[in-house]
A and B are shown apart, each in its own frame.
Chain A
Amino acid sequence: DIQMTQSPSSLSASVGDRVTITCQASQDISNYLNWYQQKPGKAPKLLIYDASNLETGVPSRFSGSGSGTDFTFTISSLQPEDIATYYCQQYDNLPTFGQGTRLEIK
């Protein structure tokens, strides 16, 4: 199984900050990497697919990059509504998720 190591596991930032989350795959997964946002008590929401493609309707402050084993998710200017847990997910083989990054407002 492909393991996804996501870091940090939690993060505290101020409104307007640039926030970065990383995800590392245990083997080369090309660009087969998605990012999701999950707010408490809600279903996850797809933000980025194929490592860098913004899902329709998602604000442009969200972005993704990377290929191979190392990937980055960025919020360019943190907004209060961005408080959530973020997950990466690979699909080179059967899907597996990272352990999540809990984002809080400082």
Chain B
Amino acid sequence: EVQLVESGGGLVQPGGSLRLSCAASGFTFSSYEMNWVRQAPGKGLEWVSYISSSGSTIYYADSVKGRFTISRDNAKNSLYLQMNSLRAEDTAVYYCARDRSGYGASFAFDIWGQGTMVTVSS
């Protein structure tokens, strides 16, 4: 079964850091571009970051640029999001999502994890 499972969410104080992980299974992880998408409570979806299959190309939303770092370990079938200098407005469910293409970014997200909640509050 094709599956993505996020972990690492929790409660963190403003200015703090958190590292999210996403474990992939059921497909050749190293062949797919990956993304993080977040959703604040009761709000819509916001794309956060993209990483190419090799890790050589990375993009960020302006709202997180300079604070968040996306990375991947293809040997471990895992995607990561290092979040620093967290703010209250970063409070959201964070989803990892697979790009459906398998050969270059299509930004159509066909497989999603269940999400992990990040709460930034004192």
Contact = CB atoms under 8 A, between A and B. Distances in A.
A34 B108 CA distance: 7
Interface stretch (A14-22, A74-82, A88-96): A88-96
Contacts, number: 56
A94 B47 contact: yes
Contact of A94 (B45, B59, B109): B59
Size band of the interface chain B makes with A: 20 to 34
A96 B46 CA distance: 7
A43 B108 contact: no
Given A46-B100, A49-B100, A49-B106, A95 B112 contact: no
A97 interface: yes
Nearest to B59: A94
B76 to A, nearest CB: 22
Interface string B94-108: 010000100001111
B110 interface: yes
B61 interface: yes
Contacts of B59: 94
Given A87-B44, A89-B45, A94-B59, A43 B113 contact: yes
Nearest to A6: B44
A104 interface: no
A97 B47 contact: yes
B114 interface: yes
Given A43-B114, A43-B115, A49-B100, A97 B46 contact: yes
A95 B100 contact: no
Contact of A95 (B107, B110, B114, B115): B107
Interface string B35-71: 1010000001111001000000001011000000000
Please provide the 3 A-B residue pairs with the shortest distance between their CB atoms, ordered closest to farther. A91-B107, A43-B112, A49-B108
Interface of A: 1, 32, 34, 36, 38, 43-46, 49-50, 55, 87, 89, 91, 94-100
Interface of B: 35, 37, 44-47, 50, 59, 61-62, 95, 100, 105-110, 112-115
